[in-house]
């Protein structure tokens, strides 16, 4: 009964004219951002932070979530029509999506992807609705040691965001933690690493760092890699699918939805891993695995479903525990902190209108996304034809105006510029940027929880391991961090002996 009453509250908030307009704007902008190669959801969310900061908190997060799951589908358009994944989570889709397009079936590929996205997105939101309240209630038992362990678990997500080199990923994480220490000591109130600059007493702001690292950096990368890409054409009539398409995609969509949701809940796993696992599982189950990569319907339906199901899964640890499991959710956590909203169990009890309005908007957004991405694909394709030489300066102007309009601070613009250049250089050297943002967002609360815990235990660090909940979480963190070593020196030798 509580669930129904909570949802009724949520839909009453989500169905207000301003929030309906905002969620529509979010999914449209998200689809466009996801479709533009080289930008992606993290950069898109970062660029829109200044716009969201001037809005009501509920409307702002509805906008950000709309952009988030809109981006998940947007990458499919370029994967199918251009043979260029709009983002990393669309890599598996383009294997069969573009092959279908070459056979003259670009329209059905996009329709199947849209239907799969809708089914998977709705499934993940239903699971979010059902699982989030009990998890939040359980988290009410948490104290500072448990919160520190949770923050550490969130930080261990860096292991899934490191890209090719774990060392580079962890290095960027340490840089983020160092940046989080700039400003006033949260316990003692003494200045740290401000070097006499009054602007640094409040710390290095999340907004200029995120916009610089992802928004301005994306502009610099665009300018550096100007490429003319041919876009296939498709019409609304060509979007029609057959009964056989529906039959071939039904079970792959179901399996992809389940896999994507489970992977999305795990910190650091993310949509990219979900799509790889879903595609691999589908290929293993298939009676004709040799057809994968040649334009098979299941090769589009399963990874695309996993891609969108991961979004609802990732929202569970973010809203209930304050753990961002990916770069995108780290940006959204930063937006919540800008509004002085602390994700966790108290968010559900103190701000029910906010939480349930956000969840209800995700149901509405998935329906809008289905309609938009079947009926208006030709319009989105037209956007892809905008040259980067025009798009890049427009994004740069939006970044500058947006960051300045929040605090009217020239210092923030300098920070954005510095981190834009740093982000560009790090990208050229294959250093992942998401770990830095993740550590910057978690660092402040992590330090507070650590020092409160040590004061409670009079400096005894065993408190993190002797308390049941924090002890279990710390054990999980240790396994995650040491997994590569365990896999190399313990698991592989055993498997090798068994095979012998």
Cα-Cα-Cα-Cα torsion 111, 116, 117, 123, nearest 10 degrees, comes to 150
Q: According to the model, what pLDDT value does residue 1 have?
A: 46
Which residue from 303, 224, 369, 307 is spatially nearest to 41, judged by alpha carbons?
307
* pTM exceeding the 0.75 threshold for the entire prediction: no
Helix 57-82 and helix 298-321, axial crossing angle in degrees, nearest 10:
160
- Give the 3-state secondary structure percentages of the chain, helix then strand then coil, rounded to 5: 80, 0, 20
Q: How many CA atoms lie within 13 Å of 371's alpha carbon, on the beta-carbon side? A: 6
b/e for 468-488, b at 16 or more Cβ within 10 A? ebbbebbeebeebbeeeeeee
Counting as low any pLDDT under 70, the low residues of the chain are 1, 37-40, 82-91, 94, 139-140, 157-164, 225-240, 266-270, 272-273, 325-327, 377-388, 406, 484, 489-500
Distance between CA atoms of 107 and 127, rounded to whole angstroms? 30
375: which 2 tokens? 């009926």
489: which 2 tokens? 């020196």
Decide: 223 and 387 in contact? Cβ < 8 Å. no
pLDDT tens digits for 60-73? 888 888 888 888 77
87: which 2 tokens? 């983002």
Residue 292 three-state SS: coil
Contacts of 124 (CB under 8 A, 6+ apart): 257, 260, 261, 264, 308, 309, 310, 311, 312, 313
Residue 430 is classified by DSSP as T
Q: According to the model, what pLDDT value does residue 378 have?
A: 67
pLDDT tens digits for 231-272? 555 555 556 677 787 787 788 888 888 888 887 776 655 676
Residue 97 three-state SS: helix
319: which 2 tokens? 């809203």
Which residue from 361, 112, 131, 160 is spatially nearest to 263, judged by alpha carbons?
160
């Amino acid at each position: 009964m509580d669930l129904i009453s909570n949802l009724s509250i949520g839909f009453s908030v989500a169905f207000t004219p301003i929030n309906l307009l905002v969620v529509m704007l979010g999914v449209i902008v998200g689809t466009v951002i996801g479709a533009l190669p080289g930008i992606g959801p993290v950069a898109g969310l970062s660029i829109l932070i200044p716009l969201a900061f001037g809005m009501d908190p509920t409307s702002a997060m509805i906008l950000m979530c709309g952009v988030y799951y809109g981006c998940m589908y947007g990458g499919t358009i370029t994967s199918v029509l251009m043979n260029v994944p709009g983002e990393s989570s669309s890599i598996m889709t383009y294997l069969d999506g573009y092959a279908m397009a070459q056979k003259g079936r670009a329209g059905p590929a996009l329709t199947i992807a849209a239907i799969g996205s809708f089914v998977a997105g709705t499934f993940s939101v239903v699971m979010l609705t059902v699982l989030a309240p009990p998890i939040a209630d359980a988290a009410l038992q948490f104290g500072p040691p448990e919160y520190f362990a949770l923050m550490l678990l969130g930080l261990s997500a860096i292991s899934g965001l490191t890209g090719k080199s774990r060392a580079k990923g962890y290095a960027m994480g340490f840089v983020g933690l160092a940046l989080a220490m700039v400003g006033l000591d949260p316990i003692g109130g003494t200045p740290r690493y401000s070097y006499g600059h009054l602007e640094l007493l409040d710390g290095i702001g999340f907004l200029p760092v995120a916009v610089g690292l992802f928004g301005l950096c994306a502009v610099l990368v665009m300018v550096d890699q100007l490429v003319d890409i041919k876009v296939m054409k498709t019409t609304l009539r060509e979007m029609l699918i057959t009964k056989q398409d529906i039959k071939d995609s039904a079970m792959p969509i179901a399996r992809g939805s389940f896999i994507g949701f489970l992977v999305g809940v795990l910190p650091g796993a993310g949509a990219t891993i979900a799509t790889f696992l879903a595609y691999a599982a589908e290929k293993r189950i298939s009676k004709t695995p040799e057809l994968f990569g040649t334009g098979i319907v299941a090769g589009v339906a399963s990874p695309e479903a996993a891609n969108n199901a991961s979004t609802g899964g990732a929202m569970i640890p973010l809203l209930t525990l304050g753990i961002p499991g990916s770069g995108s959710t780290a940006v959204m956590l930063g937006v919540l902190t800008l509004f002085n909203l602390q994700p966790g169990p108290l968010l559900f009890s103190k701000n029910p209108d906010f939480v349930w309005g956000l969840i209800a908007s995700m149901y509405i957004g998935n329906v809008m996304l289905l309609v938009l991405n079947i009926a208006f694909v030709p319009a989105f394709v037209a956007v892809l034809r905008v040259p980067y030489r025009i798009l890049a300066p427009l994004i740069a102007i939006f970044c500058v105006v947006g960051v300045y309009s929040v605090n009217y601070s020239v210092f923030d613009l300098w920070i954005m510029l510095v981190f834009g250049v740093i982000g560009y250089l790090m990208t050229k050297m294959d250093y992942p940027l998401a770990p830095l943002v993740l550590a910057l967002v978690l660092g402040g609360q992590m330090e507070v929880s650590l020092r409160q815990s040590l004061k409670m235990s009079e400096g005894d660090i065993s408190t993190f391991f002797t308390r049941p909940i924090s002890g279990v979480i710390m054990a999980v963190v240790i396994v995650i961090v040491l997994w590569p070593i365990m896999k190399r020196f313990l698991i592989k030798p055993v498997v090798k002996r068994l095979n012998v």
